[in-house]
Amino acid sequence: AELLERLTAAFNDKQLFLVYQPQIDLESGAVIGLEALLRWRREDGQMVPPDRFIPVAEQSGLIDSLGLWVFKTACHDMQRLIAAGLAPKLMAVNVSVAQFKNPAFVGQIEQALLDSGLAANRVELEITESVAALGHGVVEPLLQRLRRLGFSVAIDDFGTGYSSLAYLERLPLDRIKIDREFVSQLQQGQEARIAALIAQLGAKLGLRVLAEGIEDAAVWRKLQAIGCHEGQGFHIAKPMPFDDLPAWLREWN
């Protein structure tokens, strides 16, 4: 409860901000997207990791307004990049399962998108496998609505949560993100079995596959060898504040 009070105050005092991590095509190196990631810097300068405060926001319902703020801010920043002629194809925004449960969610992001003037096909929503817990009677129509609006949808942290393959196959998805746990196995020289299986699964289902957590050039090459075409990670770029993006984007290509 104490953390919730501090988080609510931080939200009101604008201590929360977004950083952006580039996503690239592993073949050409071209930047294909940016993932928006939430950060909290306390007044004393200490960072509070999202793994600590997002669950608190989810349990309290604060995630609805916080998530909407993330969405609006990411759309606004994407518009600024477009105006500067620097925007990649996609802005990826994480959406919590708790937001999905809110019946007002789709209407709210639709309105926020309209207000921003951004086209829906420039936005990808990242959801985790745990949406499966809501049941496909809920999730499938919701995803269909989002895709009809023009958003694309990615499954984040794939392979770590619960979701049956049968379930995954039915969902209208665009992309799978291989969790960095499996990508780090490549780093440690272990067999790339799970990452390779996910890449094959993606290809079979006609989905794009992106690997998270690329920390060196060797892993980048191994991912290409197993048929994974997209990636993000510290070796390419760490998540950075908006103000650092223009210079990075100009440098990279």
Q: Please choose which of Na ion, Mn ion, ligand G, none residue 215 contacts, taking the beta carbon within 5 to 8 angstroms, the exact cut-off set by kind.
A: ligand G
CB atoms within 10 A of CB 69: 15
Close Cβ partners of 220 (under 8 Å, ≥ 6 residues apart): 26, 214, 231, 235
Q: Which of residues 157-176 bind ligand G (CB under 6 A)?
A: 157
CB of 150 to Mn ion, least distance (A): 20
Piece in contact with ligand G (CB under 6 A), picked from 102-110, 117-125, 186-194, 206-214:
206-214
Taking each helix axis from N to C end, the angle separating 62-83 and 245-252, rounded to the nearest 10 degrees, works out to: 50
- Report the interface residues with Mn ion, using CB under 5 A: 94, 126, 156
DSSP string for 147-190: HHHT-EEEEEEETSS---HHHHHHS--SEEEE-HHHHHHHHTT-
* Site track 98-137 with ligand G (rule: CB under 6 A), x = hit: ----------------------------------------
CB within 8 Å of 138: residues ≥ 6 apart: 100
Instruction: Give me the residue label for tokens 């075409």.
Output: 229
Binding mask 140-159 for Na ion (x = CB under 5 A): ----------------xx--
Chain positions contacting ligand G, by CB under 6 A:
21, 37-38, 49-51, 54, 67, 70, 94, 96, 156-157, 180, 212-215, 232-234, 239
